[in-house]
Amino acid sequence: MSPAAQILATLRQQDGVSGADLALRLGMSRAAVWAHIEELRGAGFEIEASPHRGYRLVTSPDRLLADDLLARLGPVQVIGRDIRVFQETNSTNDVVEKLARDGVAEGVVVFAEAQSKGRGRLGRQWLSPAGKGLWFSILLRPDLRPQEATRLTVATATAIARAIQQQTGVAPDIKWPNDLMIAGKKVCGILTELSAELDHVKYIVLGVGVDVNLASGEFPSDLRRIATSLRIAAGRVLPRPELAVAILQELDREYARILRGQFADVADEWEQRCTTIGQLVSIRLGDRVLRGRAEALDESGALLLRTEHGRLERIIGGDVTVEK
Ligand code: BTN
């Protein structure tokens, strides 16, 4: 952790700490501590200094700062060991894809305050305005077969739904395979991109977009009908860094469960949150449309669809519409 991150972590643990204590703890001079405090103030942290109580963290900015996120996150097993933040990039999935090809270790998370070419599934665009959401991608190198990669999408949706519920009190539904919905409108999407050989996954880029603080007027009119934000659902503006940290903690926990072979536990919670199971659905797969009842998930995370002709089909992708 950088010195600024260590100072933030200490200020979060202790309500008031002297410059001398900080200097001792970090092994630097009091002047150097003061310079880092000034740097943090410059980044928008309100830090009070008084002769009696020392330094106190009063407020934090609603900005994504790698040091701040690392300091809040604390120890993790894999996801969030390395966090990088861009003010703007084309797509965080592209940034992580490049890190993957450069051999960077799994667990790195790349956030962007804004994306100029955010993309969704099936070649769609993903609206990513500055400071309004969480737009990030994670590099994973799991020991899985390509056909088991859907497990990660299922685990991701479950972890994010749980974190959103903790932070906002609103419980999103999951629409298979990867949409989080509130009151029938999409609030979060997941884009899983895979590089694999025949029998094993080389790496996975897990891209997540959460609409956090968009007001309804900030969605283009064609999206207003189908998309929502946590701000609209919860009726208040939410602190993005806190939500980001809660999401990473839950993702780290779920990833560890997948690696321990406990997918069945993840799937149980997923099924409780999923509104697709039990419904009559139509699934568009390229030019083909399959209709039937969504019965369950199989052990690799695929959807089992009982078609209108009575056959059981295993679906690993596609666009699902719940029939009314
Ligand atoms: C979907 O279509 O539902 C998936 C949307 C995924 C959007 C996220 S935002 C961060 C990451 N970078 C991208 O370009 N896309 C994903």
**SS3 assignment, position 67:** helix
C-beta separation of 273 from 158 below 8 A: yes
The predicted structure's pLDDT at residue 322? 86
The pTM for the full model equals 0.93
- Cα 116 to averaged position of ligand 1 atoms, centre (Å): 12
Domain assignments of the chain as residue spans, ordered by start: 3-59, 66-273, 280-322
| β-bridge partners, 284 | 289, 319
**SS3 assignment, position 38:** helix
Q: Which of 70, 80, 110 is nearest to 94 (CA)?
A: 110
- Cα 173 to averaged position of ligand 1 atoms, centre (Å): 18
CATH code assigned to 280-322: 2.30.30.100
Cis peptide preceding 61, ω within 30 of 0:
no
* Confidence band of 1 (pLDDT split at 50, 70, 90): confident
Summarize pLDDT for 265-318 with one digit per residue, the tens: 988 899 899 989 999 999 988 888 999 999 988 888 889 999 999 999 999 878
- Cα 192 to averaged position of ligand 1 atoms, centre (Å): 9
pLDDT over 80 (residue 324): no
CATH code assigned to 66-273: 3.30.930.10
| β-bridge partners, 179 | 175, 189
Q: Is 3-59 a CATH 3.40.50.10300 domain?
A: no
| β-bridge partners, 136 | 111, 208
The protein residue with its alpha carbon nearest to ligand 1, atom 2, reads 120
C-beta separation of 82 from 95 below 8 A: no
The predicted structure's pLDDT at residue 298? 86
* Confidence band of 177 (pLDDT split at 50, 70, 90): confident
Summarize pLDDT for 12-53 with one digit per residue, the tens: 999 999 999 999 999 999 999 999 999 999 999 999 999 889
C-beta separation of 67 from 172 below 8 A: no
The protein residue with its alpha carbon nearest to ligand 1, atom 3, reads 189
**Sheet bearing 108-115, strands edge to edge:** 82-89, 108-115, 133-140, 201-211, 185-196, 179-182, 173-175
Ligand 1 in reach of 89 Cβ (< 6 A): no
| Averaged pLDDT for residues 230-253 | 97
Compute the distance between CA of residue 136 and CA of residue 190 in angstroms, rounded to an integer.
10
